[in-house]
Amino acid sequence: MVFLYRINGGQVQSSFTRAQDAIYDPTFFALVEDPPAPDGTDLTPPKIYVVASNTMRNATDPEIANFATAQAADATTAQRTSAQNLFTDPVIGKALRGIAGEMVAVANTVRLDPNTTYGALDVNTIVNQILDAIAAGSYE
């Protein structure tokens, strides 16, 4: 039997009869085949895979409590990677750099002149300023 476990924390997620049946992201998960399992291979209670000893065992209460933290950390990593991938798209990356550039320009204006007051801004004006800056090649 093949088990899928979370690399961050060792939580055993599921089992398969063949490794080919497992579809998973190797950034966050790994497979282990037929590990020694002194507590059995049923996934209830929750199991943990211990890489150092190549064993699968019942998880302790503190380990179970850590599963949610590990899942949240992996989710944050996945979201950060997705956001970084947006910058590799030529159009979206350019737009995001334009938005960031405009935000920096406004922040710098406020920093240099704290008495500056701004009139009401509307979305169309901001979008047009960003598009004009992108069209001018300001954020290449």
Question: Within this chain, do residues 61 and 98 fall inside the same structural domain, yes or no?
Answer: no
**Are the beta carbons of 46 and 58 closer than 8 angstroms?**
yes
> Vertex 85, ends 79 and 91: CA angle to 5°?
130
pLDDT at residue 92, as a whole number: 86
Question: Within this chain, do residues 7 and 73 fall inside the same structural domain, yes or no?
Answer: yes
**Are the beta carbons of 9 and 63 closer than 8 angstroms?**
yes
Is there a domain that residue 59 lies in?
Answer: yes
Identify the band that residue 85 occupies on the pLDDT scale cut at 50, 70 and 90. confident
pLDDT at residue 93, as a whole number: 81
Identify the band that residue 139 occupies on the pLDDT scale cut at 50, 70 and 90. low
Identify the band that residue 123 occupies on the pLDDT scale cut at 50, 70 and 90. low
Nearest to 12 by CA among 44, 53, 26: 44
Based on the structure, what is the number of domains in the chain? 2
Range of the domain at 125: 90-135
Question: Within this chain, do residues 82 and 102 fall inside the same structural domain, yes or no?
Answer: no
Condensed to tens digits (0 to 9), the pLDDT of residues 27-63 reads 999 999 999 999 988 888 999 999 999 999 999 999 9
Is there a domain that residue 140 lies in?
Answer: no
Sorted by sequence, the CB contacts under 8 Å of residue 105 that are 6+ apart come out as none
Is there a domain that residue 120 lies in?
Answer: yes
Question: Within this chain, do residues 70 and 40 fall inside the same structural domain, yes or no?
Answer: yes
Question: Within this chain, do residues 55 and 13 fall inside the same structural domain, yes or no?
Answer: yes
